[in-house]
Amino acid sequence: MLINFQENDISLESQWRAIILFGKNSATYKFAFGKALLQLASKETNNITLEQLSPLFVDSILQHIKQNDKQGNSISSSFLKACRQYNNNELTYENLLGKTEKLGFVNVIDAFQNVNGGMIPNKFYEKDFNGKTKQIVIKDDLLKLKESVQFSNLDNEVEARWNLVETAWNIDINPNLLEVKIDEDLQTLFLESDLMRRKDITSARASLNGYQKGKCFYSFQDISILSGDNNICAVDHFFPHVHKLKLNEIGSNVNGIWNLVLADKYVNLDKSAKIPELKYLERLYKRNEFYIASKHPLGETIVNQTGKTSKERRSFLQRQYDLSVNLSIQKWKPLFELDPLF
């Protein structure tokens, strides 16, 4: 699925998102390191020692561990133990930074740019541990990310992905029993099941955006997910919300993640309650498969709602489409559309 995600698109943004969405999640260090790299890109830093990098790296972990204690799959971690000790006023910040420099970067620097067993085409940094001072050298391709119109969205996307992963780890419930839902008023995602009360996770826009490569689902124009932005995108129901009762009759959840896409707000206004042309159904299938390939908990939710196999999921979408077309009659496509990236 990573190959499909980067098909016709080997842009720097796509490579960055491949790391965040499809890279291994044995610990959340990847997300902390990613957020630190984005700060370095903003400051146009060319190189940085591990000592200098430590506060950028550890501060976000300290905040997350307060909310969700489990930040990795390992039974124990000396580094995370030190973070907990600092939060409990049992360790000074200076001592924490020393432990971060020694323990926090052991695996993440080597593993970060490796996705599905291979290195990304354009490295964002190089490791330089040959001299007395250990450091990483920032490559031009990381600095070029800052020039992208998508750069302002990337930190929110990392944060959203981090929230989803740690939530899945910290809830002691079988993923098959979990369901991610959307609060349409607050535009947030939350978890709920028969065994637990509602738990808010993260912004819906930030969670959805990376899987669409920061583009409008229909027109492939660049979109914004920043609150307060004049051109902030809309969270759209691919199959219109007005069809909720009919689709519910065949076991569908119109508010499910599988049916939510991000769209340019003007494109969304033009679409209204119309049904997109058939080619967009294939795009929805691909987008959903990206979720499934990236693991908990969005992928689990989509599998639970649409089918255990790719064949079942295709059939599910086609059933929804056939019913919705009968209800709407008229099909729709955007007035303007760039070349599709998936």
Q: Which residue would you say has higher pLDDT here, 72 or 98? A: 98
Lowest average pLDDT, out of 125-139, 180-194, 223-237, goes to 180-194
Q: Which residue would you say has higher pLDDT here, 324 or 329? A: 324
CB contact set of 23 (below 8 Å; sequence gap of 6+): 30, 111, 112, 114, 115
pLDDT band, residue 144 (cuts 50/70/90): very high
Residue 314 has pLDDT above 90, yes or no: yes
Q: What is the pLDDT of residue 250?
A: 64
Residue 79 has pLDDT above 90, yes or no: yes
Q: What is the pLDDT of residue 173?
A: 58
What's the whole-number mean pLDDT along residues 326-334? Answer: 86
Q: Which residue would you say has higher pLDDT here, 200 or 83? A: 83
Say if residue 131 is exposed, middle or buried (CB neighbours under 10 Å; 0-12, 13-18, 19+).
exposed
pLDDT digits (tens, 9 = 90+) for 10-35: 899 999 999 999 888 778 999 999 99
Contact present, 190 and 183 (Cβ < 8 Å): yes
pLDDT band, residue 296 (cuts 50/70/90): low
CA angle at 225 for the pair 41 and 211, rounded to the nearest 5°: 85
Residue 318 has pLDDT above 60, yes or no: yes
Q: What is the pLDDT of residue 196?
A: 65
CB contact set of 187 (below 8 Å; sequence gap of 6+): 203, 204, 205, 235
pLDDT digits (tens, 9 = 90+) for 100-123: 999 999 999 999 999 888 899 999
User: Angle, to 10 degrees, between the axis of helix 12-22 and the axis of helix 151-170?
Assistant: 10
Q: What is the pLDDT of residue 161?
A: 92
* Average confidence score pLDDT of the chain: 89
Whole-prediction pTM: 0.89
Lowest average pLDDT, out of 3-7, 110-114, 263-267, 303-307, goes to 3-7
Cα 276 off chain centre by: 25
pLDDT band, residue 334 (cuts 50/70/90): very high
Q: What is the pLDDT of residue 242?
A: 76
pLDDT digits (tens, 9 = 90+) for 169-190: 887 655 555 667 788 776 888 8
Residue 2 has pLDDT above 60, yes or no: no
Type of residue found at 321: Y
Phi, psi of 35 (to 5 degrees): -65, -35
The whole-angstrom separation of Cα 321 and Cα 333 is 15
Q: What is the pLDDT of residue 198?
A: 75
Residue 294 has pLDDT above 60, yes or no: yes
Contact present, 222 and 236 (Cβ < 8 Å): no
Cα 38 off chain centre by: 15
Tokens of 229: 């932005």
Q: What is the pLDDT of residue 171?
A: 77
Question: What is the percent of the chain where pLDDT is above 70?
Answer: 91
Tokens 């506060």 belong to which residue? 55
